[in-house]
Chains A and B, each alone.
Chain A
């Protein structure tokens, strides 16, 4: 492996932040390998996305801008990443560990008969081999895992972990030829249920509610307001999801998502092991609970014991004020 190829996921003409992180992780890996960094952008408005990518340290940006691809799902993106990887030769492919990133990364890996390291939080090069660090078993073990038996390897990086490097690279634009294929998959429609919200996997601040919320209202009310004040997302414990108070996409924990935000605010969440494994790698954890004896007390950086229904709205006010001062 010598080069690195980053897959860039985008929406409405803008790259996702986790894809910029993937690109920067690819840069660091390619520098250690002495190779070149490629970025792959395919789909509607890809040209606009590619132009913006020039602000980041990428050597070549491969672009397939075609409005018709909007209805073909991720298949054209899989084709594009595969073709760029084959042209680049032995390389590390970096995708963000998001729903689309996993789909594209896993499928290209299968086509290239390559391994996948999932949920990667660190990439190093040892004796010319790429080694990925991944938390396993709910973050209790970190594995160092190398690629072998293939010219390629795919690293699916955890969002919010790799730093963004805002140094412009050569940024040479390369136009990819359309495959001319008729794709089997058809996207018939797309419905935005929470368009303004970031997913919990990518948000740098996550405000989560648990059993202590007592019903669905806080998730669209006070927790939503606090998350919005931070510019973050609303999460939930399994108890809240199982009770039907919020959809599964928001669930953090063993049977939900594993996340590493800069700040995790757990409201009315006891912090049982199945929740802990999904958020223990947050940089900072603040818990608000009426009970001082909850398990989360053992690993939160701050536990405020009190009435969440009184504290959260006040906190939202103070956060808005603090943000307004900085703005």
Chain B
């Protein structure tokens, strides 16, 4: 079985992120680029499934990224994935959710797959909409927010988180699942893994390889950023020191009453 894990490369979560007012895109130069932390749970889930199946199944990492993301993708290979494909083309710059899902679906379909795993969201865009859009573009079921995954008899079965608990949901393969943070503890690459990853293949696809019929990039996107604004910063409020519980509680209650919150 071929498991494909889509990963996004994002600015380091601790970096000071900003949007270029001219291009209205996230500035990605001068900031460390890392694997989207949410995607590490999908990678770990894929590795665990592969090792449990132990039937020659493979894990392929897929990323739509500029060429400079190649070495970041190698970190996923160091975790234990078998190979990687990057889709890299200047014509993809400025792609919105729709264009991204459309292009990725074509690239994944070209390489073949039985199961696609994604993170639930990225730390830079945080929309959480890509898994569903990708599944639709691939014409497969989407089992989102999975905290446990299992494959038996050609069916993917997940425990899907809900706001109040979980559901057990299943669908026949091929299918897509997005993997939550509670699914596992992603492994750190071992020294052997890091050394081994240097020899693993990272194939490169360009737009011309995909045979797209619709435009992508800024021109083909379905959304367009018109303006950027900076909201007013929150101001420092009052500080009250409470000698004991009742005094602290009264301070909160008086404040809430002054704001008609109680």
A residues sitting closer than 8 Å to B (CB atoms) are: 73, 75, 98-99, 102-107, 109-111, 113-119, 131, 135-150, 153, 156, 184-195, 197-199, 201-202, 247-249, 251, 254-255, 258, 262-263, 265, 273-274, 280, 284-286, 288, 292, 297-307, 310-315, 317-319, 322-323
List of 8 A-B pairs having minimum Cβ-Cβ separation, nearest first: A115-B222, A310-B245, A106-B132, A118-B127, A306-B242, A110-B136, A199-B163, A311-B248
Known: A255-B38, A299-B236, A304-B252. A141 touches B19 (CB 8 A): yes
Q: For the A-B complex with A145-B226, A302-B239 known, give 16 more contacts whose Cβ atoms are closer than 8 Å.
A: A75-B141, A99-B161, A106-B136, A109-B98, A118-B125, A141-B230, A150-B98, A184-B171, A185-B169, A187-B167, A292-B239, A301-B259, A304-B252, A305-B239, A306-B241, A317-B249
Closest residue of B by beta carbon distance from A286:
B252
CB neighbours of A254 from chain B (8 A):
13, 123
Nearest-Cβ distance from residue A263 to partner chain B, whole angstroms: 5
Contact B133 A147 (CB under 8 A): no
B162 on the A face (CB < 8 A):
yes
Nearest-Cβ distance from residue B172 to partner chain A, whole angstroms: 6
CB neighbours of A147 from chain B (8 A):
222-224
Q: Which of B1-51 contact A (CB under 8 A)?
A: 13-14, 17-19, 24, 26, 37-38
What 1/0 flags go to B219-259 for Cβ under 8 Å of A?
01111111111110111111111111111111111011101
* Pick from B14, B134, B142, B229: contact of A144, CB under 8 Å: B229
* Pick from A107, A111, A116: contact of B127, CB under 8 Å: A116
Contact B181 A248 (CB under 8 A): yes
Contact A150 B13 (CB under 8 A): no
Nearest-Cβ distance from residue A146 to partner chain B, whole angstroms: 5
Closest residue of B by beta carbon distance from A75:
B141
CB neighbours of A139 from chain B (8 A):
231
CB neighbours of A186 from chain B (8 A):
169-171
Q: Which of B187-233 contact A (CB under 8 A)?
A: 214, 220-231, 233
CB neighbours of B261 from chain A (8 A):
262-263, 284
Known: A146-B223, A199-B163. A118 touches B126 (CB 8 A): yes
Known: A115-B221, A248-B181, A263-B256. A146 touches B226 (CB 8 A): yes
Q: How many angstroms from the CA of A314 to the CA of B253 in the assembled complex?
A: 10
CB neighbours of A319 from chain B (8 A):
253, 262
Contact A195 B19 (CB under 8 A): no
Q: How many angstroms from the CA of A98 to the CA of B224 in the assembled complex?
A: 23
Contact B251 A115 (CB under 8 A): no
Contact B227 A185 (CB under 8 A): no
| Most chain A beta carbons < 10 A, residue from B37, B129, B225, B244 | B129
CB neighbours of A202 from chain B (8 A):
163
B130 on the A face (CB < 8 A):
yes
Contact B128 A118 (CB under 8 A): yes
Closest residue of A by beta carbon distance from B167:
A190
Q: How many angstroms from the CA of A214 to the CA of B78 in the assembled complex?
A: 35
B180 on the A face (CB < 8 A):
yes
Known: A115-B221, A117-B223, A192-B165. A107 touches B228 (CB 8 A): no
Nearest-Cβ distance from residue A308 to partner chain B, whole angstroms: 8
CB neighbours of A318 from chain B (8 A):
249-250, 252-253
Q: How many angstroms from the CA of A141 to the CA of B224 in the assembled complex?
A: 16
CB neighbours of A317 from chain B (8 A):
249
